[in-house]
């Protein structure tokens, strides 16, 4: 039975896709998928025969077994046969590994595929979301995002499962939390872990870098990482509609704001150590092309965002005095940002994609200059030949900001970019999970710094949130969380012919499927019982009779209310049911 302390584990089985010898003569089995779990092995041999299994994520450029990136982790299982004359089977009971490949030493006789299988291990979170489209590379990216979550959501959200780490890094969980809530039901998973966040929170309000905190009492307080205490509770509230998580975490949320206030000067938080935009683009030789964003600029944006989330939570929980208090704090935080980091026309001291993305995502600039700041963001992207340069903190919001300010075409250009740095570069290199670095394996098939080079590290998989909520268009309203009131607002990409997203909520299944077909755009929508939806139908500026549902003009459907047009969309209100919209 599942408990707060020990979620039920989910098991799947993978068989090796091939068994072969490497150029150096090593006996290796390839399971075809970077995964987390263990290998079950069967063998028959003499008493005392020793079988060793070593684990690796990748092969090197010559096709040999590569384990340098595991650092000090042995990733080794040893089995000793009793030699009864019968076939014996082994698997570990007290550990797991992160791997795609295994190397065998000492196996008696010839190993056959039926002698091996891998057990996939992860916390038992029912799958809730699916996504597919007309681009096979994007479908592989989706696959990689899903397997990154499988491998790293094991009792706690770890950053990576394979090397001598396996820690609950708060920044990774924070940036991926909304994506995670689409793919699987993580309601109880995060509710439990957030209690741990509050329990380990330092007395001064700082949140440790990892939860459970095994690093030390002073290892905390980094922007974007400690903000897990505000961002994840709010994301879970939006996804599942249960304000209990806000009630439980509210003291922790306020304590983190208190820490930032206490360590700021006139509400300018420019003290302490921060990871910043971790693993952003630093090309060979670095130089002026390195995308380095001032870490205190980043800190100020998250100071504002977390404060806004406490305001939002206070409204939900009925604390008007806190709404008033933190609204005054937020105004001072944003004013301090504008004084320190921005010119009156919206130019930022760090001319990076992350700086403009965070400033725009969190409304740090006066409204009058936000569009020009978005133009600077797009210019920066063009200057990098349509490549992203963001790290852990900028990446989750980059495409969201582009779409918000009318540049969905640029967002798609980044999404579909196949050369480094991009989401699809690892896919083209054969990745089956999300990499820690944009270039974990370089274009010449050598590897990045082995001291920090995981091939199963889900943070950059946060692009999934944009795919589901913007490209496919299934989204929530803050005023009716948990998909009680649904927004369907797809953003079709011209280079894609179709996109399908389905989400199982506590009310039932939501679907948003769009397709370019025969000069028309069709939008198939499913809305579950006891809910309503506002549907934005991509349509040219034409009369509503150019839009049909079920082959008939909208005017023939009195139950569908056309409430207006906005930025290339016809907007309708619908109740539960299935709808087939088509536009000319």
For 183, 191, 482, 504, 530, the CA distances from 507, given in Å and listed in that order, are 16, 20, 9, 8, 7
CA distance 132 to 116: 31
Tokens 């090796």 sit on residue: 16
Q: ∠ at Cα 277 (274, 283), nearest 5°?
A: 125
Q: Are 100 and 47 in contact (CB under 8 A)?
A: no
Q: Residue 180 to residues 24, 125, 503: CA-CA distances in angstroms?
A: 40, 10, 12
**Of 113, 118, 259, 235, which Cα lies nearest the Cα of 182?**
235
Q: Give yes or no for a contact between 123 and 9, defined as CB atoms under 8 angstroms apart.
A: yes
Strands 577-583 and 65-66: unpaired
CA-closest candidate to residue 57, choices 436, 438, 574? 436
Q: Which of 165, 375, 448, 544 is catalytic?
A: 165
Q: Which residues pair with 17 in a beta bridge?
A: none
Write down how long the chain is. Answer: 584
- Please enumerate in sequence order all residues whose Cβ is within 8 A of that of 382, keeping only pairs 6 or more positions apart, or say none: none
What b-and-e string marks burial along 62-89, b requiring 16 or more CB atoms within 10 Å of the CB?
Answer: eeebbbebbeebebebebebeeeeeebe
> Catalytic site residue 436?
yes
Instruction: Please choose, from the candidates 339, 330, 323, the residue with its C-alpha nearest in 3D space to the C-alpha of residue 305.
Output: 330
Which candidate in 57, 88, 146, 436 is catalytic?
A: 436
Burial class (CB in 10 A: 0-12, 13-18, 19+), 188: middle
Residues 499 and 471: beta-carbon distance below 8 Å: yes
| Beta strands at 508-517 and 532-538: parallel, antiparallel or unpaired | unpaired
CB 439 within 8 A of CB 416: no
Residue 158 CB contacts under 8 Å (≥ 6 apart), including other chains: 152, 165, 166, 167, 168, 169, 172
Radius of gyration of the CA atoms of the chain, in A: 25
Helices 295-317 and 353-361: angle between axes, nearest 10 degrees: 20
Q: Which residues of 472-484 are buried (b: 16+ CB within 10 A; e: fewer)?
A: bbbbbeeeebbbb
Cα–Cα distance, 180 to 153 (Å, whole number): 9
Q: What are phi and psi of 74, to 5 degrees?
A: -75, -35
Q: Are 160 and 435 in contact (CB under 8 A)?
A: no
Catalytic residue flag (residue 165)? yes
How far from each other are the two terminal CA atoms of the chain, in whole angstroms?
Answer: 54
445, 61 in Cβ contact below 8 A? Answer: yes
219 C-beta neighbours (distance < 10 Å), count: 15
Write out the catalytic residue numbers: 165, 436
């Amino acid at each position: 039975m599942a408990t707060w302390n020990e979620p039920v584990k989910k098991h799947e089985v993978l068989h090796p896709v091939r068994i072969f010898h490497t150029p150096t003569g090593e006996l290796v089995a390839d399971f075809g998928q970077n995964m987390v779990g263990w290998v079950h092995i069967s063998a028959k041999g003499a008493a005392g025969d020793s079988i060793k299994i070593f684990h690796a994520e990748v092969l090197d450029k010559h096709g040999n077994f590569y384990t340098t990136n595991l650092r000090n982790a042995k990733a080794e299982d040893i089995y000793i046969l009793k030699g009864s004359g019968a076939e014996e089977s082994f698997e570990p009971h007290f550990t797991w590994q992160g791997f795609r490949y295994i190397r065998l030493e000492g196996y008696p006789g010839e190993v056959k595929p039926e002698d091996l299988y891998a057990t996939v291990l992860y916390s038992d979170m029912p799958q809730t979301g699916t996504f597919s489209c007309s681009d096979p590379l994007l479908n592989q990216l989706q696959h990689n995002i899903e397997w990154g979550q499988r491998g790293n959501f094991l009792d706690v959200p770890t950053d990576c499962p394979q090397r001598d780490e396996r820690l609950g890094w708060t920044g990774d969980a924070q940036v991926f939390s909304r994506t995670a809530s689409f793919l699987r039901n993580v309601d109880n998973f995060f509710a439990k872990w957030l209690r741990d966040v509050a329990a380990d929170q330092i007395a001064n309000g700082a949140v440790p870098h990892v939860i459970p905190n095994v690093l030390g009492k002073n290892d905390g307080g980094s922007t974007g990482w400690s903000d897990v205490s505000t961002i994840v509770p709010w994301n879970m509230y939006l996804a599942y509609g249960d304000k209990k998580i806000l009630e439980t975490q509210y003291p922790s949320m306020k304590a983190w704001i208190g820490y930032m206030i206490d360590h700021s000067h006139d509400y300018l938080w420019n003290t302490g150590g921060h990871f910043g935009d971790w693993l952003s683009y630093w090309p060979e030789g670095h130089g002026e092309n390195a995308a380095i964003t001032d870490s205190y600029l980043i800190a100020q944006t998250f100071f504002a965002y977390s404060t806004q989330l406490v305001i939002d939570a206070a409204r939900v929980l009925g604390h008007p005095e806190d709404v008033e208090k933190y609204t005054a704090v937020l105004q001072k935080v944003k004013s301090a940002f504008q004084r320190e980091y921005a010119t009156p026309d919206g130019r930022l001291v760090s001319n990076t994609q992350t700086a403009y993305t965070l400033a725009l995502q969190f409304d740090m600039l006066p409204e009058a200059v936000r569009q020009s700041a978005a133009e600077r963001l797009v210019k920066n992207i063009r200057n990098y030949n349509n490549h992203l340069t963001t790290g852990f903190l900028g990446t989750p919001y980059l495409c969201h900001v582009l779409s918000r300010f009318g540049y969905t075409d640029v967002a798609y250009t980044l999404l579909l970019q196949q050369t480094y740095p991009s989401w699809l570069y690892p896919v083209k290199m054969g990745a089956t999970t999300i990499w820690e670095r944009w270039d974990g394996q370089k274009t010449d098939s050598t590897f990045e710094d082995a001291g920090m080079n995981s091939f199963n590290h889900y943070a950059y998989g946060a692009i999934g949130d944009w795919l589901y909520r913007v490209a496919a268009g299934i989204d929530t309203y803050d005023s009716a969380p948990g998909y009680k009131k649904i927004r369907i607002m797809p953003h079709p990409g011209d280079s894609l012919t179709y996109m399908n997203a389905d989400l199982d909520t506590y009310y039932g299944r939501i679907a948003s499927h769009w397709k370019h077909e025969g000069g028309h755009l069709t939008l198939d929508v499913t809305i579950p019982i006891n809910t309503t939806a506002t549907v934005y139908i991509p349509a040219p500026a034409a009369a509503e009779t150019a839009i049909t549902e079920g082959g008939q003009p909208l005017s023939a459907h009195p139950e569908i209310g056309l409430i207006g047009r906005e930025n290339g969309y016809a907007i309708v209100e619908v109740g539960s049911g299935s709808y087939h919209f088509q536009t000319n």
